[in-house]
């Protein structure tokens, strides 16, 4: 009964320990290296960090449920770009001209619907063909990105609606709209995963698919729902981000899938499925954003950031593997 | 018998925590002999082969090759000494050529590490010619039939100076014509003075090609018999054992209506023309050797396999089962053979495992009603006496007996019509075994229709009201508990017609 408690505690607490380490490290290092004289752990800076975490964080919540379910989705970055284009472009369509600012919710709805459908399409293909989710979504990543380029070539798609920008930049209780959306999504997905039948079954399928089938669980629909959820969240992420920026480049969202997966894995979700938590993912998202910000704070450039995050990811997985191996050996005795 | 054996095992012992997997096993393989090794699943055959292959070190006993005592510290050493395995699961690189596979890891080389293709091809073709096969060194292994891939494995064995060749279920996936070719090769090896250990469950083959048979049961050596001087029944008896707990069950309680009826059910080559019925309040035991088709019938009744012919009737109405979800909805439950792989979500806690199939019915609004789940868990924990500190315990940390009770509780809590239990006590300690046997009897008394599949004769005799005997995919006989004797049951599962055997 004792086995695994230590490694479990380490695993669930590790990401928060890492975040604390980052905070201390960058605060101290910042004293010597930083070009600005503002402290790193400044309250406003932390609020900004939460806001900046939102685009990746919102998608990462969807990725958590997809990965716990035993799948993966590489197409989220491209879905993000498609949803962004639909959001900005639909506001300029003549048929909506009479709506005035009421075009905003219509555009949101269109973008979110598109994201959900694209996600569901991925899920349907994985379910009906039995092809591995990695391959299916690798294909749709390329395909969706192709659609983005077909739409407007290399040119950006832009549309600024000031009402929309005001909404996106609004703050409530000190938190930006994007931060609220991230927190709300985290809460909702946490409820879905820990309190609903769908969440329970997603864990079961990811842990032991055969036993789940033998318990009468219909695996396909659950997988499809999860892909629809992540598609919706990729679109929601785009809605939040582009309501403020008003311009989307055809390359936007590239590599998002990798950042998202990195955050989810850092947060303790197993790549093979069956284990993981939304709270851990939230920690992973914050940890990555802290690292990016912190390295920037001490004067490192973007390429250094990527190198360091890459190294940390491998180190974390290696550590996790060592802990798991130890746990198993204890079990044998 | 003056020649020294190529391989002699003397009193080999191998223990694992809590299990004596091999308990004093001794036998010899003579040069030019085909020696069968038989035993039911769990008898210790694979452990013994792993000892011979150097994968396990024995805890006691000696291995001799010729007159010298040897120790095998690893697979490479075993191979170097001339002990070669032809495994049931082929381990070939499908994308590589036959020659590359045969000399994998030992490719002949030229300067700068280049492969010496000419020598490689020539050597390989020489071996292939000896085996008289219809493909050459350059063929891609993935393009070969299973039988020919097996020939590649055998060819690989011939590259070393093999003294003992061990075939593990070699005919499992071969057609009859392919078997003939394999048996020819075995005969050639035999003629060359190689000692052959032949592991198989198939009696026909054993009696056709082997010279002697050694039998294991529960890790213990049961003896060696000369094939020509024995018969299938005697061998089966040695495999199963006669030290039976004769506490039989007699059908005491009243039987209810027919809950499940199967008519003429077939599933390809797995089983054919199977018909039986199970009444409420009755335990029907399915008994037969491994591969007789029992588990496959259970899987069909649970919607995991589509039958190729026949009907399944539930309470007199024909049903079609395409998935476990269909079966569960109709009240058919399966406690599978492989508890950990097929029955449980090991990373989940006890409560969640127990309520998994019905969690959708236990909702309060959009959320799972955890209170209702805990109530169900508590009820079945008490009823089945599941020993766990709390429902929060991960199922993977429970003992085998308690895990099995969780799986049984999972289905009982859904009040099924038919409960199918495949190997109810495999890997479970003796105390929990008798508890589970008692439970199965109680369930029948409460009016459940129960099917028990077991490879243990005492278990089948003990829990069943009727026993269905199977041999090679067919029902050979159905016994009531009054009719059944060990002898006629053994005959029925050995494929011997009543009155035919002496």
Q: Describe chain B by its helix, strand, coil percentages, rounded to 5.
A: 35, 25, 35
Measured between beta carbons, the chain A residues lying within 8 angstroms of B420 are: none
By CB atoms closer than 10 A (0-12, 13-18, 19+), residue B140 is middle
In chain A, which residue ranges form alpha helices assigned H by DSSP?
A: 5-33, 43-68, 76-90, 103-129, 133-152, 162-169, 177-195, 197-207, 209-214, 219-245, 256-266, 278-297, 302-332
Distance, CA of B411 to CA of B408 (rounded, Å): 5
Q: What is the 3-state secondary structure (H, E, C) of B47-101?
A: HHHHHHCCCCCCCEEEEEECCEEECCCCHHHHHHCCEEEECCCCCCCCCCEHHHH
Q: Across the interface, do B324 and A201 touch by the CB < 8 Å criterion?
A: no
pLDDT for res A237: 95
Domain limits, CATH 3.40.50.300, in chain B: 7-240, 243-331+417-502
**CATH superfamily membership of B7-240:** P-loop containing nucleotide triphosphate hydrolases (3.40.50.300)
- B55 within 8 A of B225, measured Cβ to Cβ: no
Please, what's the largest Cα pairwise distance for chain B? 83
- pLDDT tens digits for chain A (333 residues)? 334 444 555 556 778 888 888 888 888 887 777 666 667 777 888 888 899 999 999 999 999 999 999 999 999 999 999 999 999 888 888 887 777 778 889 999 999 999 999 999 999 999 999 899 999 999 999 999 999 999 888 888 888 777 888 888 878 888 888 999 999 999 999 999 999 999 999 999 999 999 999 999 999 999 999 999 999 999 999 999 988 888 888 889 888 999 999 999 988 888 888 889 999 999 999 999 998 888 887 877 878 888 888 888 888 778 777 766 554 444 433
Q: Across the interface, do B345 and A207 touch by the CB < 8 Å criterion?
A: yes
pLDDT at B435 over 60: yes
Listed range (A162-176, B187-201, B331-345, B362-376) with the worst mean pLDDT: A162-176
Task: Give percent above pLDDT 70 in chain B.
Answer: 94
At B496 the three-state DSSP class reads coil
Cβ-nearest to A204 among B302, B323, B348 = B348
pLDDT for res A331: 41
- List all residues 6 or more positions away from B135 whose beta carbon is below 8 Å from its beta carbon: B98, B128, B144, B148
pLDDT for res A329: 43
ipTM for the complex shown: 0.79
Measured between beta carbons, the chain B residues lying within 8 angstroms of A212 are: 345, 356
Cβ-nearest to B324 among A196, A203, A216 = A216
- A84 within 8 A of A116, measured Cβ to Cβ: no
A205 — alpha (psi -120 to 50), left (phi > 0) or beta? Answer: alpha
Q: What is the chain A residue with the closest CA to B345?
A: A208
CA-CA-CA-CA dihedral for A209, A210, A211, A214, to nearest 10: 120
- B249 within 8 A of B462, measured Cβ to Cβ: yes
pLDDT at B235 over 60: yes
pLDDT digits (tens, 9 = 90+) for B162-221: 889 999 888 877 777 778 888 988 998 899 889 999 998 778 888 999 999 999 988 888
Q: Across the interface, do A201 and B366 touch by the CB < 8 Å criterion?
A: no
Distance, CA of B476 to CA of B479 (rounded, Å): 10
- B81 within 8 A of B159, measured Cβ to Cβ: no
pLDDT at B421 over 90: yes
Chain A: give the shortest CA distance to residue B94, in Å: 21
Burial A220-258 (b: 16+ CB within 10 A, else e): eebbbbbbbbbbbbbbbbbbbbbbbebebbbebbbebbb
B11 — alpha (psi -120 to 50), left (phi > 0) or beta? Answer: left
pLDDT for res B308: 92
Cβ-nearest to A275 among B347, B359, B389 = B347
Distance, CA of B139 to CA of B169 (rounded, Å): 25
The residue among A2, A190, A214, A277 with the most chain B CBs within 10 A of its CB, best to mutate, is A214
- List all residues 6 or more positions away from B92 whose beta carbon is below 8 Å from its beta carbon: B101, B141, B149, B152, B153
pLDDT for res A11: 58
CATH of B243-331+417-502, one of 3.40.1190.20, 3.30.420.340, 3.40.50.300, 3.40.50.2000: 3.40.50.300
Q: Which domains can be identified in chain A, with CATH numbers?
A: 5-27+39-327 (1.10.3470)
Confidence of residue B501 (pLDDT cuts 50, 70, 90): very low
Q: What is the chain A residue with the closest CA to B339?
A: A211
Please enumerate residues of A whose Cβ is less than 8 A from a Cβ of B.
Answer: 1, 3, 191, 195-197, 200-201, 203-204, 207-208, 210-218, 274-275, 332
pLDDT for res A8: 56
pLDDT for res A9: 56
Chain B: give the shortest CA distance to residue A193, in Å: 10
User: How many contacts, defined by CB atoms under 8 Å, are there between A and B?
Assistant: 76
Burial B164-199 (b: 16+ CB within 10 A, else e): bbbbbbbbeebeeebbebbbebbeebbeeebbbbbb
Distance, CA of B342 to CA of B340 (rounded, Å): 6
Using only the alpha carbons of chain B, give its radius of gyration: 26
pLDDT for res A333: 32
């Amino acid at each position: 009964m004792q086995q695994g408690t230590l490694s479990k505690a380490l695993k669930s607490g590790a990401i928060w320990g890492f975040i604390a380490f980052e905070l201390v490290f960058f605060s101290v290092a910042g004293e010597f290296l930083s070009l600005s004289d503002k402290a790193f752990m400044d309250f406003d800076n932390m609020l900004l960090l939460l806001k900046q975490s939102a685009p990746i964080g919102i998608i990462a919540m969807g990725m958590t449920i997809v990965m716990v379910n035993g799948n993966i989705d590489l197409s989220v970055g491209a879905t993000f770009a498609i949803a962004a284009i639909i959001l900005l472009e639909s506001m300029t369509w003549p048929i909506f001209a009479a709506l005035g600012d009421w075009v905003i919710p219509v555009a949101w709805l269109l973008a979110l619907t598109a994201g959900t459908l694209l996600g569901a399409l991925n899920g349907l293909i994985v379910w009906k063909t039995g092809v591995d989710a990695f391959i299916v979504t690798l294909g749709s990543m390329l395909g969706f990105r192709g659609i983005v380029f077909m739409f407007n070539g290399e040119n950006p798609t832009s549309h600024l609606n000031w009402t929309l920008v005001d909404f996106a930049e609004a703050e409530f209780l000190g938190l930006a709209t994007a931060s609220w959306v991230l927190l709300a999504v985290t809460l909702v997905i946490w409820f879905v995963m820990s309190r609903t039948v769908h969440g329970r079954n997603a864990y079961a399928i990811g842990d032991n698919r055969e036993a789940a089938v033998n318990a009468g669980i219909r695996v396909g629909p659950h997988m499809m729902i999860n892909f629809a959820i992540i598609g919706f969240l990729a679109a929601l992420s785009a809605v939040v981000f582009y309501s403020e920026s008003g311009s989307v480049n055809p390359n936007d969202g590239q590599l998002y899938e990798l950042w998202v997966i990195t955050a989810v894995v850092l947060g303790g979700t197993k790549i093979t499925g069956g284990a993981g938590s939304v709270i851990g993912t939230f920690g992973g998202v914050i940890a990555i954003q802290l690292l990016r910000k912190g390295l920037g704070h001490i004067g490192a450039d973007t390429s250094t950031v990527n190198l360091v995050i890459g190294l940390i990811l491998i180190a974390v997985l290696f550590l996790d593997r060592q802990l798991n191996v130890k746990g198993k050996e204890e079990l044998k005795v | 018998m003056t020649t020294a054996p190529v391989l002699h095992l003397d009193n080999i012992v191998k223990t694992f925590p809590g299990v004596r997997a091999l308990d004093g096993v001794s036998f010899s393989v003579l040069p030019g002999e085909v020696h069968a090794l038989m035993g039911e699943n769990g008898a210790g055959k694979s452990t013994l082969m792993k000892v011979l292959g150097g994968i396990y070190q024995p805890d006691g006993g000696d291995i001799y090759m010729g007159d010298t005592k040897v120790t095998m510290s690893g697979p490479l050493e075993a191979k170097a000494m001339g002990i070669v395995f032809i495994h049931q699961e082929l381990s070939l690189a499908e994308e590589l050529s036959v020659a590359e596979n045969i000399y994998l890891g030992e490719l002949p080389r030229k300067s700068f590490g280049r492969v010496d293709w000419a020598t490689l091809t020539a050597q390989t073709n020489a071996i292939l010619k000896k085996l008289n096969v219809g493909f050459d060194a350059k063929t891609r292994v993935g393009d070969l039939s299973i039988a020919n891939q097996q020939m590649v494995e055998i060819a690989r064995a011939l590259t070393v100076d093999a003294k003992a060749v061990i075939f593990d279920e070699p005919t499992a996936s071969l057609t009859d014509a392919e078997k003939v070719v394999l048996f020819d090769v075995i005969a050639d090896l035999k003629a060359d003075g190689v000692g052959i250990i032949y592991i198989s469950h198939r009696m026909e083959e054993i009696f056709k090609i082997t010279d002697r048979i050694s039998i294991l049961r529960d890790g213990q050596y049961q003896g060696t018999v000369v094939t020509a001087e024995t018969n299938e029944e005697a061998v089966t008896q040695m495999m199963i054992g006669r030290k039976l707990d004769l506490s039989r069950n007699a059908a005491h309680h009243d039987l209810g209506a027919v809950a499940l009826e199967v008519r003429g059910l077939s599933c390809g080559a797995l089983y054919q023309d199977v018909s039986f019925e199970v009444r409420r309040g009755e335990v029907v035991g399915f008994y037969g050797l491994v591969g007789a088709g029992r588990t496959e019938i259970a899987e069909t009744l649970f919607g995991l396999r589509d039958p190729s012919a026949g009907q399944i009737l539930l309470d007199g109405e024909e049903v079609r089962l395409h998935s476990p979800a269909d079966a569960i909805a109709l009240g058919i439950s399966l406690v599978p053979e492989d508890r950990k792989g097929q029955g449980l979500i090991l990373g989940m806690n006890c409560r969640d495992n127990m309520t998994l199939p019905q969690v959708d019915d236990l909702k309060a609004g959009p959320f799972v009603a955890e209170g209702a789940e805990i109530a169900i868990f508590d009820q079945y924990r008490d009823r089945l006496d599941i020993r766990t500190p709390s429902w929060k315990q991960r199922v993977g940390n429970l003992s085998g007996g308690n895990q099995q009770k969780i799986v049984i509780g999972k289905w009982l809590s859904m009040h099924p019509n038919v409960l199918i239990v495949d190997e109810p006590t495999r890997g479970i300690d003796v105390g929990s075994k008798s508890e589970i046997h008692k439970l199965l009897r109680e369930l029948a008394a409460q009016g459940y229709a129960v099917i028990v599949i077991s490879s243990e004769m005492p278990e089948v005799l003990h829990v069943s009201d009727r026993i269905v005997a199977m041999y090679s995919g067919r029902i050979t006989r159905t016994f009531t508990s009054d009719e059944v004797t060990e002898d006629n049951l053994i005959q029925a599962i050995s494929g011997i017609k009543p009155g035919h055997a002496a």
